[in-house]
Structure 1
Amino acid sequence: MDFNEFHKWVHKELGINLSAYKPEQLNRRINSLMTRVGIKTLDEYSKSIKSNPEQRQKFLDFITINVTEFFRNPELFTDLEKQIANELLPNNSSLKIWSAACSIGCEPYSLGIILDKLAPNGRHNIIATDIDDTILSRARSGEYTENEMKGINNADLSKYFKVRDDKYYVESKIKNMVTFKKHDLILDRYDTGFDLIVCRNVVIYFNNDVKQEIYKKFSNSLKRGGLLFVGATESIYNYRDYGFEKASTFIYKKI
């Protein structure tokens, strides 16, 4: 089995379309993971993924980039908070937000904390999506480790979390703002009418054709004046092609 055959097998067995990813980068990641788990061939690896639920989950986590924490790149979240206060809330006290590829939920809950501070009486709706059911289940639980909390200051920690047995649990008023759903950015249709879309540190792994299609769909999903917040390595150089203007270094406004 070569990498092309392995990619087809993953699509058939796991429903993940690896052709959307940059191939050199993707195959290096797969090789690295195989080495890490002590497997030498793709044939052997496909059998291991199929027969061993733990190996299957490791592969899904590794491929779908589930690396996250609360307020990742805090200076960028500070910038986002200003943009929400100045650009979005003056026109609409209740916001509709999409946290795409949300992983274990740190990002949508971070958005909930921001909204609770800026507009606590608003009926905000945060839709958080990911391709991985196991990850979504963890996100719904709202349970986190100390390492995932390093972006939270002490005041927010005491206000928005309960601590039990060295685990941190999101308070219900923040949890209740967020609805988690399974969604594939490549295959599934996009909802519309969003004031803000947050999609960070994911699109960078896709090839250019897929990336362009995703940015077009994000633009179509936003209201006029809505914001798109991307990752710290994901500047959109041709943002005008998608009907955006720059609101900040990593925040784009639909015009």
Structure 2
Amino acid sequence: MDADIYTQVKASIKRRLQIDLENYKAEQMKRRLDSWLARTHTATWNDYFNLLSIDSTELERFRDYLTINVTEFLRDPNRWATLKENVLPYLLQHSNGVHHRTGGLRLWSAGCSVGAEAYTLAMMMAESAPSHKYSLLATDLDRGALLKAKSGGPYTPEDVRNLDAKQRRKYLTPAPPYFVGEELQKHIRFEEHDLLADRFEDGFDLIVCRNVVIYFTAEAKETLYAKFSAALRPGGVLFLGGTEIISGSAKYGFQNFGVSFYRKVQ
């Protein structure tokens, strides 16, 4: 896809789907778009956008594709073990007295996709601090993904492969397709939210945003890191994906707190 066509496609996508591709890495997005057009067996982008004008189902399929949903429960188990063994105990210890009037720890799964990450976080809380109150906000831009998340599934055996047998028995329905039980669902508030365009809530103790910013431009990442910092309380922690590193984290008020973790300086 050449630059002129990409400019036209971006403008059409923004107008029809309210998704701004300016914040995404251009070459990576061009490859995704080329792949999608070939998959639809449509000759040109003009033809495809004409199809979107009359086919709402195809419009939602395209929206789902653009918002990039790759997720599973307990993705990168070693990082989640660090959260459970080191980060959550730190947050619980330092929250004593801070949240006694506000309902406990405030957690946010940002870019939660179909909910696997948010439910994993709820599992960690159930196992690490079963008597500790908390609230968990889970947000994503993709309405279809959020609908699945709010329903607690369905999830495939591949989605839950990193959960051990005890966790599957405790938190999921007995056989595939799996659904998450109401005991975890009741703790989570799912909402539609655009990380790059919408306002953030604040006062969070932990923000989990894994394997999301890798798709963004350097400028978009800078904006997002600053917004995450502002959304965390002093001492709060940001949990990123395994390949996501904040260069010059101090300028956002962060210090390294282990691999994939950044703590907001007091």
TM range (shorter): over 0.9
**1:116 maps to which of 92, 107, 126:** 126
Q: How far does residue 197 in structure 1 lie from its aligned partner after superposition? A: 0.4
Q: How far does residue 73 in structure 1 lie from its aligned partner after superposition? A: 0.9
CA contact (8 A) 1:11 1:17 kept: yes
Q: Give the 3 Å change call, closer, same or farther, for CA 73–49 of structure 1 in structure 2.
A: farther
In 2, Cα distance between the equivalents of 1:198 and 1:131?
16
- Answering whether residue 180 of structure 2 is matched by residue 170 of structure 1, we say yes
**1:155 maps to which of 166, 170, 192:** 166
- Answering whether residue 99 of structure 2 is matched by residue 89 of structure 1, we say no
RMSD: 1.4
- Counterpart in the other structure of 2:7: 4
In 2, Cα distance between the equivalents of 1:210 and 1:137?
27
- Counterpart in the other structure of 1:32: 35
In 1, Cα distance between the equivalents of 2:134 and 2:110?
16
Q: Once structures 1 and 2 are overlaid, which stretch shifts more, 113-122 or 58-67?
A: 58-67
Give the 3-state SS of the residue equivalent to 1:48 in structure 2: helix
In 1, Cα distance between the equivalents of 2:149 and 2:106?
19
User: Match for 1:168: what amino acid?
Assistant: Y
- Answering whether residue 51 of structure 2 is matched by residue 48 of structure 1, we say yes
**2:113 maps to which of 103, 110, 120:** 103
In 2, Cα distance between the equivalents of 1:131 and 1:152?
26
Q: Among all aligned residue pairs of Structure 1 and Structure 2, give the percentage whose two residues are the same amino acid.
A: 36
In 1, Cα distance between the equivalents of 2:256 and 2:20?
31
In structure 2, the gaps of 5 or more residues are 97-103
Aligned residues: 254
Larger strand fraction of residues: 1
CA contact (8 A) 1:6 1:46 kept: no
Q: Once structures 1 and 2 are overlaid, which stretch shifts more, 5-14 or 75-84?
A: 75-84
Q: How far does residue 38 in structure 1 lie from its aligned partner after superposition? A: 1.7
In 2, Cα distance between the equivalents of 1:50 and 1:152?
42
* TM-score, length of structure 1 as denominator length: 0.95
